[in-house]
Amino acid sequence: MKPTHIEHIGIAVKNLDEAIKLYQTVYGLECYAVEEIPDQKVKTAFFMVGQTKIELLESTDPEGPIGKYIEKKGEGIHHLAFAVNGLAGALDETAAKGVMLVDKAPRKGAEGLNIAFLHPKSTFGVLTELCEKP
Ligand code: ZN
């Protein structure tokens, strides 16, 4: 596996509207999509910075993964996402190298991407997402 670029950086926030405002008024970025992912109990907002996106994540349920994350660690950078070609193969290769996987097979993420997470215990505390355009 060799990532082609950083696809996005996921940032956990308590209030999506307020966070969107910061990215728009301070950084002058345009929010080009807001999407709710019921599966993940999360509402997301996207900004493009060069070829990398900022993905703001607000929990829609305190028991969801982002809700629990904020309760434990507070707001901030939640995960790093690499774009890869051949996600299923990359996952097999990663597992074979002894890295713990959160997702053993690709699943659907925001923006229709195929995604899978690696376990932060295996990646020096960084929740890492691999994603691929379908
Ligand atoms: Zn992500």
Q: Is position 20 within any domain?
A: yes
Contacts of 102 (CB under 8 A, 6+ apart): 116, 117, 118, 119, 127
Sorting pLDDT into bands at 50, 70 and 90, what band is 126? very high
132 CA to middle of ligand 1, Å?
Answer: 11
Q: Is position 28 within any domain?
A: yes
pLDDT digits (tens, 9 = 90+) for 16-73: 999 999 999 999 999 999 999 898 899 999 999 999 999 999 999 999 999 999 999 9
User: Residue 109 above 90 pLDDT?
Assistant: no
25 CA to middle of ligand 1, Å?
Answer: 23
55 CA to middle of ligand 1, Å?
Answer: 7
What single DSSP character describes residue 34? E
CATH number at residue 19: 3.10.180.10
11 CA to middle of ligand 1, Å?
Answer: 9
Q: In the chain, how many domains are there?
A: 1
Domain of residue 65 covers 9-78
Question: Cβ(102)–Cβ(116) under 8 Å?
Answer: yes
79 CA to middle of ligand 1, Å?
Answer: 7
Tokens coding 29: 């970025």
Q: Is position 16 within any domain?
A: yes
Position 74 scores a pLDDT of 97
The model carries a pTM of 0.93
Q: Is position 116 within any domain?
A: no
Helix (H) or strand (E) holding 96: helix 87-96
Q: Is position 60 within any domain?
A: yes
Cα-to-chain-centroid distance, residue 31: 16
